Amino acid sequence: MLLKEFKNRKIILASKSPRRQYLLKELGLIFEVDTKEVDESFPENLKAQEIPLYLCQKKADAFKEELSNDTIVITADTIVWLENQVLNKPENFEDAVRMLQLLSGKMHEVYTGVCLKSKNKTKTFYAVTKVYFKILTLEEIEYYITNYNPYDKAGAYGAQEFIGYIAIDKIEGTYFNVMGLPLKELYENLLAF
């Protein structure tokens, strides 16, 4: 069974991320993009997958007043988890350097939480991918930050950009999760929804 039965439903992707929009389009879904300003703070006691699950639910709840039975909103949130700490989006150049230096030569986990919400139903799930980085030089890090845009990316990097090409030694899990949307899990959960 494919996603063709969703042609009668209105799908909203609540994300400004061009990567998520591209991936959802590649899945064959017809959707519109609509976002709401949502405070992305979270309780400090949350760990690993609890953070993106909390945030994607929060983003979906912002739509609850306007959802009908024929509308599904898809929200997602991605974090990088390294040595029991979260690396969100970098605040500036120095913060991006700091994050990439922390990731250099180590394994980190990328968690993406996804929420599917209609008027009467909510489903949240997550995917985790282990990413192994080689040791990066300061020159490589600064080149990447200067020539690409890491400021909208958890952990200050995009796997589909220069740093991903040169730094990733190995991935355990789904690559698309590292890009911000676990497509296999999303496909399966949409079919079940």
Which residues are the active-site residues?
Answer: 77
The secondary structure of 16-76 as a DSSP string is --HHHHHHHHHTT---EE----------TT--TTHHHHHHHHHHHHTTGGG--TTEEEEEE
Cα(3)–Cα(188) distance, integer angstroms: 10
Can you name the residues that pair with 171 across neighbouring β-strands? 131
- Residue 100: how many CB atoms within 10 A of its CB? 25
